[in-house]
Amino acid sequence: METIRLNIAGRVYPLSVPAEEAEGLRAAAEAVSHQVEAFRKQYQVQDRGDLLAMTALQFATRPAETQAAEPAAISEENERRLNDLLARIDAALTGS
């Protein structure tokens, strides 16, 4: 475990995290802080809670956009299992 201090929107948060996650968390904190600052400038909002809520909403909607644009690769075994499951669901729905 590693203890890191993340600065998010002007507040410092000390965290104990696995060493392999530290760099990703630092990058995420920087991305959040950058987006908060962008919203502050764009909408001239000063309330940190409002800015963080707007940022959370922005990031929460990104995975759906990413998934639609880039489908995840799956193994041949998982693809076979999914196709089998879909066939069984289809058979149950059609009464076959």
Under the banding of pLDDT at 50, 70 and 90, the label for residue 8 is: very high
Integer Cα distance of 35 and 32 in angstroms? 5
Number of domains composing the chain? 1
**Using a CB cutoff of 8 Å and minimum separation of 24, what contacts does 9-14 make?**
9/33, 9/36, 9/37, 9/48, 9/51, 9/52, 9/55, 10/48, 11/48
Instruction: Pick 74 or 25 by higher pLDDT.
Output: 25
Residue-range definition of the domain harbouring residue 87: 2-94
pLDDT at 71 > cutoff 90: no
Per-residue pLDDT at 66: 57
SS3 string, the chain, reads: CEEEEEEECCEEEEEEECHHHHHHHHHHHHHHHHHHHHHHHHHCCCCHHHHHHHHHHHHHHHHHHHHHHCCCCCCHHHHHHHHHHHHHHHHHHHCC
Under the banding of pLDDT at 50, 70 and 90, the label for residue 70 is: low
Q: Mean of the pLDDT values across residues 1-17?
A: 93
